[in-house]
Structure 1
Amino acid sequence: MSEARIGFACLYRHSQRSLALKALEAIEKTFNPRTTTLRWLSSATEEAAREKLLQLIEHNLDAQLKLLAYVAQLPPTLRMLRLSSDLLPLYSHPKVASFYRDPVLQAHLQQRFGAIGDFARAAGIRLSFHPGQYCVLGSDKPDVVDNSVAEFEYHADMIRMMGYGQRFQDFKCNVHIAGRLGVEGVRATWPRLSTEARNTITFENEEKVYGVNDCLALADLAPVVLDIHHCWINEETYIPADDPRVDRIIESWRGVRPAMHYSQPPEHLQSLGFGPDVPLEMPALLEKVNKRDLYLHSARMWNHPTNEYALQFLDRFDIMFEAKDKNQATLEFYQRYLLHSH
């Protein structure tokens, strides 16, 4: 398999956190997307709404290219990035759809996204999307499924314009199994997805209802993204790196290097006696906190035993870090655990 990578999600955090807030915001704004609301667009004139959307699109695509340029100058191990879902505001909303169907804008988007895809491929950056919580492909409500398919196909359109989605898992677009119908609901919705959507979709286990075993029930359709933090919460124990299910997860990627997700519970656990070198074991934690408190993500990867556990997977998986400090969390982890091992 190719060299291991670790990555971060969507937003840039500047390294000089001691800067004045306004200075920090000004720097980070150039890397990060902006959006608007349907309420604002509805209250504006048609011309003002159109102008606002065009400005946001240009800013967002410029920002994404700048973020990719930042990632491209990092060591190869750190060249993995989840792109923001907010690049084209309200793209899948029926009230805004006609704006995006304009042929002139379509041609412009094709050119801009094409440049993003070309840059990422030239720099060897592994890309992904993660449509949000409103993408519920297994809902028992037909209108929710319709909206969810439209939202996923919005991501598929961006993937297509970047030149991906042409073969199995040349790009990862990750969702949870969500909705009352679960696995069977997803299977019923599957034929409605475009070729690009089916080539790129992955299913990730979550902490409450649909765990690893549910995702494996869809492994014939799409790869499983193992989230070891969600699995730990759901099963109340760490999934061993040699668990037979891990081999089945790898098999679901059909020869493509698997991607997994990694996060830690918040740093405030240290004030309850769980220091950086104390193993985070569920029974001991539940004596001090509610399980829901563990759903939250930390700013950095502060707990050493948990990091050592995650490192057991790096020989076979690329790892997407889900931490509040984004690129700074992955950079710190790389410098501590990986820099001198290369």
Structure 2
Amino acid sequence: MTLARIGFACQYRHHQRDLSLKELKALEGALNPRTTTLRWMDSVTAQVAGEKLRQVVEHNLQAQKRLLDYVAQLPLARRMLRLSSDLLPFYSHPRVAAFYRDPDVASLLERGFAVMGEVARQADIRLSFHPGQYCVLGSDRPEVVDNSLAEFEYHADMIRMMGYGACFQDFKCNVHIAGRLGVDGIRSVWPRLSQVARNCITFENEEKIYGVDDCLQLTDLAPVVLDIHHCWINENDYIAPDDPRVARIIDSWRGVRPVMHYSQPSESLEQLGFAAWQKLEMDALLRVVSKRDLYGHSARMWNAWTNAYALRFLDRFDIMFEAKDKNLAAEAFYQQYVVGDLQHVADGPSSVHRGEL
């Protein structure tokens, strides 16, 4: 059995939350990316815009290297990181393409990403990307498909420059099935993806339309990322760890350890009478909130029943935590449920004590 890992997504949160906003901004900003806007770039000369964009890119490459250095010092079971999609602002935008084609800038990117890849490999950090929901490969609008392919290939370029993408799932780049054409749309654009993109792409079930069953229609192309929170919302129930579809998801990874995504609805549910130790039943929730209210992510993994449920997948899946407190949420979960005594959850969620993160 390979090592089970838990990871966090994109941003670093400093553990001393009682510091001033200025202090937190300085500490966290050194590890987090910056960006700019096309509106601002249009308001200044091309030279000023280019200089600013280069400063942003240089900062972002250094910041992600610092973030990787931070993750490299964590226990091996926590060395899993989703890199930010915002490292190279407007990389896939036609109006900015000339900036990134400049040989000096291209050399800067190759060097910076090569260092990031080397740090990750030496520290055995499992890496991923997750292009935003505007990456709609299954759209029925050709211009949207073209832009989405460009955006996905932007991520593939970063993956390639880090030294990944040469073989199946040495790096995960995850998207939702989205757009009116859905599965058929994905199949129609598949030949247009680069080999790096096809080696790294995964398809994740989402909460609204395209669920687990839709993703399983694409397992001949790519692995399925099981999001248990999305599945719960989409199907109004928790997918059982022994559901036959889970075995099919695992098989889709072709021997690579699968990854699943894990989040919880907002802690505000506690104020509505849903206790941290309580199983969150959809019927009861929908009496007081709408489904849309359940889409957002919590700051921490506050519901202990759901934590115990998620732990039942950890023997077969690495888990990417999607929480607002990023690394702090993963650290708290790790300390309580992985390092701490797991005996009280050995028999499943019904045995969870009234503890919480």
What's the offset of the Cα at 1:340?
A: 3.8
What's the offset of the Cα at 1:104?
A: 2.1
TM-score (norm 2): 0.95
Aligned equivalents of 1:267, 1:88: Cα separation in 2: 33
Within 5 Å, give how 1:189-208 maps onto structure 2: 189-208=189-208
What's the offset of the Cα at 1:134?
A: 1.0
Percentage of matched positions with identical amino acids = 71
Q: Deviations over 1:80-130 (max 9, x none)?
A: 000000000100000000110112221221111000000000001000000
Q: Residue 49 of structure 1 corresponds to which residue in structure 2? A: 49
Within 5 Å, give how 1:47-196 maps onto structure 2: 47-196=47-196
Aligned equivalents of 1:252, 1:17: Cα separation in 2: 41
Secondary structure of 1:226 counterpart: strand
Secondary structure of 2:68 counterpart: helix
Q: Deviations over 1:242-296 (max 9, x none)?
A: 0000000000000000000000000010011111111111111111111111111
Cα RMSD of the aligned pairs, angstroms, is 0.9
Q: Residue 249 of structure 1 corresponds to which residue in structure 2? A: 249
Aligned amino acid, residue 240 of structure 1: A
Aligned equivalents of 2:46, 2:294: Cα separation in 1: 45
Q: Residue 11 of structure 2 corresponds to which residue in structure 1? A: 11
Q: Deviations over 1:18-72 (max 9, x none)?
A: 1111111111110100111111111111110110111001100110011111111
**Runs of 5+ unmatched residues, structure 2:** 343-357
What's the offset of the Cα at 1:341?
A: 6.1
Q: Residue 298 of structure 1 corresponds to which residue in structure 2? A: 298
Aligned equivalents of 2:281, 2:146: Cα separation in 1: 41
Aligned amino acid, residue 235 of structure 2: E
TM-score (norm 1): 0.99
Secondary structure of 1:217 counterpart: helix
Aligned equivalents of 2:12, 2:46: Cα separation in 1: 33
Q: Residue 213 of structure 2 corresponds to which residue in structure 1? A: 213
Within 5 Å, give how 1:238-277 maps onto structure 2: 238-277=238-277
Aligned equivalents of 1:20, 1:206: Cα separation in 2: 37
Q: Deviations over 1:138-192 (max 9, x none)?
A: 0000000000000000000000000000000000000000000000001000000
Q: Residue 348 of structure 2 corresponds to which residue in structure 1? A: none
Q: Residue 332 of structure 2 corresponds to which residue in structure 1? A: 332
**Runs of 5+ unmatched residues, structure 1:** none
Secondary structure of 2:202 counterpart: strand
Q: Residue 36 of structure 1 corresponds to which residue in structure 2? A: 36
Q: Give the count of matched residue pairs.
A: 342
Secondary structure of 2:81 counterpart: strand
Aligned equivalents of 1:341, 1:64: Cα separation in 2: 34
Q: Residue 353 of structure 2 corresponds to which residue in structure 1? A: none
User: Are 1:21 and 2:25 an aligned pair?
Assistant: no
Aligned equivalents of 2:75, 2:276: Cα separation in 1: 26
Aligned amino acid, residue 104 of structure 1: D
Aligned amino acid, residue 276 of structure 2: P
Secondary structure of 1:96 counterpart: helix
Secondary structure of 1:7 counterpart: strand
Show structure 1 runs of 4+ deviating over 2 A.
none
Q: Residue 355 of structure 2 corresponds to which residue in structure 1? A: none
Q: Residue 307 of structure 1 corresponds to which residue in structure 2? A: 307
Aligned equivalents of 1:57, 1:291: Cα separation in 2: 38
Q: Residue 345 of structure 2 corresponds to which residue in structure 1? A: none
